[in-house]
A and B are shown apart, each in its own frame.
Chain A
Amino acid sequence: EDQVTQSPEALRLQEGESSSLNCSYTVSGLRGLFWYRQDPGKGPEFLFTLYSAGEEKEKERLKATLTKKESFLHITAPKPEDSATYLCAVQPMFSGGYNKLIFGAGTRLAVHP
């Protein structure tokens, strides 16, 4: 069964304290792995797509990496405005004809000054 597990559920950081969020996945062939950011009361906002093991993508203080079993979202020197819930989703290679996404439950990140 295709599955996505994110850890930790919640993370509290001090401003400037770097850390990583984990996304472990089980899927029968990976078409892509997505990271989204979700602010309270808003819809998920697309951040990155990773396609194959070894791939890395960066955006400002965020860097996403991918292995065959998991992805990490590294946050370097975070600021309070990075506080949000970060969602990971996988798209299986065999999706029954549509770009199905399987979401993890998310990691709630709080960055304090």
Chain B
Amino acid sequence: DAGITQSPRYKITETGRQVTLMCHQTWSHSYMFWYRQDLGHGLRLIYYSAAADITDKGEVPDGYVVSRSKTENFPLTLESATRSQTSVYFCASSRSSGGPVADTQYFGPGTRLTVL
């Protein structure tokens, strides 16, 4: 039962480089999310996806690009990394958004990204 995995777990890169963070889930969840976690800000949503080929912006999308060609994968790309994007990135997934009942989001282990 792999659940939700992220790779790499740690990444150091330089300003201006392109970086892709990977997220894979084995539950066939419809929804997937990318968050960043910074001291003083808590978890903030970058992008989310409702299904394959359906993505939308969250609270802090600038500088990030996502795609979702397969239900199980949701990569996050920093097209030209900046120091302000140094953070811990978490991927999450949930079953669906429909109905009045709240759907639980399950989180991956995170990727710690440092931009020099």
Contact = CB atoms under 8 A, between A and B. Distances in A.
Interface of A: 31-32, 34, 36, 41-46, 49, 51, 87, 89, 91, 93, 95, 97-101, 103-106
B45 interface: yes
A98 B97 contact: yes
A57 to B, nearest CB: 13
Given A43-B110, A97-B50, A98-B97, A103 B105 contact: no
A93 B48 CA distance: 18
Interface in B63-116: 90, 92, 94, 96-97, 100-110
Contacts of B60: none
Interface residues of B, number: 26
Contacts of B48: 98
Interface string B31-56: 10000000011111100101000001
Interface of B: 31, 40-45, 48, 50, 56, 90, 92, 94, 96-97, 100-110
B103 A99 contact: yes
A45 B41 contact: no
A42 B90 CA distance: 9
Contacts of B40: 105
A112 B31 CA distance: 39
Contacts of A93: 100
B71 to A, nearest CB: 16
Given A99-B31, A101-B105, A43 B90 contact: yes
B107 to A, nearest CB: 4
A83 B107 CA distance: 19
Given A34-B104, A49-B104, A99-B103, A87 B43 contact: yes
Contacts of B90: 43-44
Contacts of B56: 98
Contact of A51 (B43, B94, B101): B101
A34 B102 contact: yes
Contacts of A32: 101-102
Given A43-B90, A43-B108, A104-B42, A97 B102 contact: no
